Structure 1
């Protein structure tokens, strides 16, 4: 386990006064973000093409996609996406919601491990 402290943190001064060496860290230059989104929509022709186009236009890469069979004219799409930056997530979700027929886009809930 590694704990990272800000240089100004009192714990750093305490540790260095007790002889623990300070080790510098640097965050990587990349700010990429992987996220899984669920889009709920009404079924219609070309919906999948329109959604994937909206995702691509926002600069996200589709890592995986699942489209469940329609149930009562409603379709659930699950996309795992790689974004260039986490700051792009709100705009991506808005762009997906703006696709005709899509009525909700949300982050997928983490699955509980099997007991």
Structure 2
């Protein structure tokens, strides 16, 4: 789904540190073997690599249908929360690929979901629907520690 400008057929890998999805602003960096790693432009790794003198590669999104993203929901524990949250996600057309619910800490629960969406344009609506579930106080994209 990513096109590398001026390099037809170049291999592409989406960075695990910032998990870019269609419609994010993106940039790329060439790595070993001519593969281009694609990052969100606001990723901390981009600033580090640019600061180290690595040249950015122009990349753009192609077809944005079918989008997989990992989301983290922070909530207060309560009965039926998991059922309510997954129902809200299903009503927005999200197919849950994987889910992890960490044990409560001080009545707070962290849920991590990897979901498949029909297209990237559904992401803001899905996140809003998740935030509207009683007890959920934050929903965001999963962030992993970047390595340059």
Higher strand share: 2
After TM superposition, which residue ranges in structure 1, 4 or more long, deviate above 6 angstroms? none
Aligned to 1:59: 93
**1:71 CA displacement:** 0.4
1:71 and 2:105 equivalent?
yes
Query: Larger RCO: Structure 1 or Structure 2 (Cα < 8 Å, ≥ 6 residues apart)?
Result: 1
CA RMSD of aligned residues (A): 1.7
Matched residue count:
90
Show the 5 A alignment for 1:76-95: 76-95=110-129
TM-score of the superposition, structure 2-length normalised?
A: 0.57
Aligned to 1:4: 5
Structure 1 unmatched runs, 5+ = 6-26
Residues 1:3 and 1:98: Cα distance change in structure 2 (over 3 Å) = closer
Q: After superposition, what is the alpha-carbon deviation per residue over 1:60-94, rounded to whole angstroms, capped at 9, x for unaligned?
A: 10000000000000000000000000000000000
Structure 2 unmatched runs, 5+ = 7-61
Residues 1:84 and 1:75: Cα distance change in structure 2 (over 3 Å) = same
**1:96 CA displacement:** 0.1
Q: 3-state DSSP class of the match of 2:65? A: coil
Show the 5 A alignment for 1:6-45: 31-45=65-79
TM-score of the superposition, structure 1-length normalised?
A: 0.72
Aligned to 1:107: 141
Q: Tell me, in whole angstroms, the C-alpha distance in 1 between the residues paired with 2:92 and 2:145.
A: 27
Q: Tell me, in whole angstroms, the C-alpha distance in 2 between the residues paired with 1:79 and 1:3.
A: 29
